[in-house]
Amino acid sequence: MDRLRCFGPSYSTLGFSSLLLPLFFFISNAAFNNLSTIPFNSAYSPLFGDGNLVRAPNGKGVRLLLDRFTGSGFISSNLYKHGFFSANIKLPSDYTAGICVAFYTSNGDIFEKSHDELDFEFLGNIEGKPWRFQTNLYGNGSTSRGREERYRLWFDPTKQFHRYSILWTAKNIIFYIDEVPIREVVRNDAMGGDYPSKPMSLYATIWDASNWATSGGKYKVNYKYAPFVAEFKDLALDGCPVDPIEQVPAASVCAEKDAHLDVQDYSVVTPERRRAMHKFRQNYMYYSYCYDMLRYPVSPPECVIIPSEKQRFKDTGRLKFGGSHRRQSRRRSRASATSSSSGASV
């Protein structure tokens, strides 16, 4: 089920221990103020691999399984024009090479040539090596202009649930892990249609990416360890629901909800959160399209070039030191309607 691409894995030789730096500089893992969660059945439905989607008895979440027959996924029953999309997620543990878990918003099923999309994509690893992840965005079918950033995590995402959130408003986009804003894209007129603007659904999927995510077939999904289980719970979804038939609503329809979103806790990047974001990016980001001068000799308009950050990166957008990430040319197109070029190699 090639609903999406994941980035290729980066099987660096970085030791696991070096990746789990102390957390002292991060703000608490507490949930956002006043976050109200929605039972799975009231806002989401299975997307594929229904037999591998296992609802929690309390109705608050699901487990998405990948076995040798299929992965699985779910989708929000509505499309939303702006919103806050969030879940507590626990990723599969042990040997997870070749596995992609994605949490993203998209409208690729409706707008085949001009879709919008906001992504969290997680890629598993061989035993003892940590998960990596990527964020990305597309607007109005800007699939030839990937905006990927890649990062390590400051914790082991297989041990506990952590909250992963995407905030999308008319003004900005913020990707959060727990309460740490890890990336903010402020809307900029020069972005034009590249800034997502049409209603999107929320998707979550787990699937086998080993046919492309590996180097010479070395790191395929190993079904000896199946089923692989990604858990999603305490789903939160707040936004302006939009009738898919109407597709593009009048701006006024969502004005009230937009105003509501603007005053929520998660819409406010406090100085403390901004500091945590800078620290995260200084310590855990290992690729940014903004610093990839080979790909973008002129940085895309929304890029905020921070000199102390930039000096850590080569002209390839990859780290100068500490990242023994092999250069891998690995492209993957979506086979589905959302087909797009996958951006840069890992």
Q: How far is the CB of 339 from ligand NAG (least distance, A)?
A: 15
Asked if 270 interacts with ligand NAG (CB under 6 A), we say: no
Asked if 18 interacts with ligand NAG (CB under 6 A), we say: no
Residue 95 has a CB neighbour count (10 Å cut-off) of: 20
For ligand NAG, the closer of residues 18 and 33 by Cβ is: 33
3-state SS class at 242 = strand
Q: How far is the CB of 141 from ligand NAG (least distance, A)?
A: 6
**Total site size for ligand NAG, rule CB under 6 A:** 9
The residue of the chain with the least Cβ separation from ligand NAG equals 193
Contact string 137-166 vs ligand NAG (x = CB under 6 A): ---xx-------------------------
Catalogue the active-site residues.
117, 121
Asked if 192 interacts with ligand NAG (CB under 6 A), we say: yes
For ligand NAG, the closer of residues 140 and 340 by Cβ is: 140
For ligand NAG, the closer of residues 268 and 305 by Cβ is: 268
For ligand NAG, the closer of residues 27 and 293 by Cβ is: 27
Q: Are 194 and 144 in contact (CB under 8 A)?
A: no
Asked if 214 interacts with ligand NAG (CB under 6 A), we say: no
Residue 127 is given by DSSP the state: T
Q: Give the sheet arrangement for strand 117-123, strand by strand.
A: 44-48, 72-76, 201-208, 99-106, 117-123, 132-138, 149-151, 285-292, 316-318
In the set 50, 243, 246, 265, which binds ligand NAG (CB under 6 A)?
Answer: 265
For ligand NAG, the closer of residues 113 and 218 by Cβ is: 113
- Scanning the structure block, which residue is given the tokens 């487990």? 63
CA angle 103, 81, 109 (to 5 degrees): 55
Q: How far is the CB of 263 from ligand NAG (least distance, A)?
A: 8
Residue 236 has a CB neighbour count (10 Å cut-off) of: 20
Applying the rule CB under 6 A, the residues between 111 and 130 that interact with ligand NAG are 113-114
Q: How far is the CB of 192 from ligand NAG (least distance, A)?
A: 5
Tell whether the torsion through CA atoms of 245, 175, 305 and 298 is positive or negative: negative
Q: How far is the CB of 110 from ligand NAG (least distance, A)?
A: 14
In the set 51, 193, 301, 322, which binds ligand NAG (CB under 6 A)?
Answer: 193
- Residue environment code for 98-108, b if the CB has 16+ CB neighbours within 10 A, otherwise e: bbbbbbbbbbb
Applying the rule CB under 6 A, the residues between 33 and 92 that interact with ligand NAG are 33-34
3-state SS class at 223 = helix
For ligand NAG, the closer of residues 114 and 333 by Cβ is: 114
For ligand NAG, the closer of residues 127 and 265 by Cβ is: 265
d(CA 279, CA 257): 32
Contacts of 22 (CB under 8 A, 6+ apart): none
3-state SS class at 114 = coil
Q: How far is the CB of 79 from ligand NAG (least distance, A)?
A: 17
Token pair in block for residue 156: 């082991």
Q: Which of 294, 319, 293 is nearest to 305 (CA)?
A: 293
Report the interface residues with ligand NAG, using CB under 6 A. 33-34, 113-114, 140-141, 192-193, 265
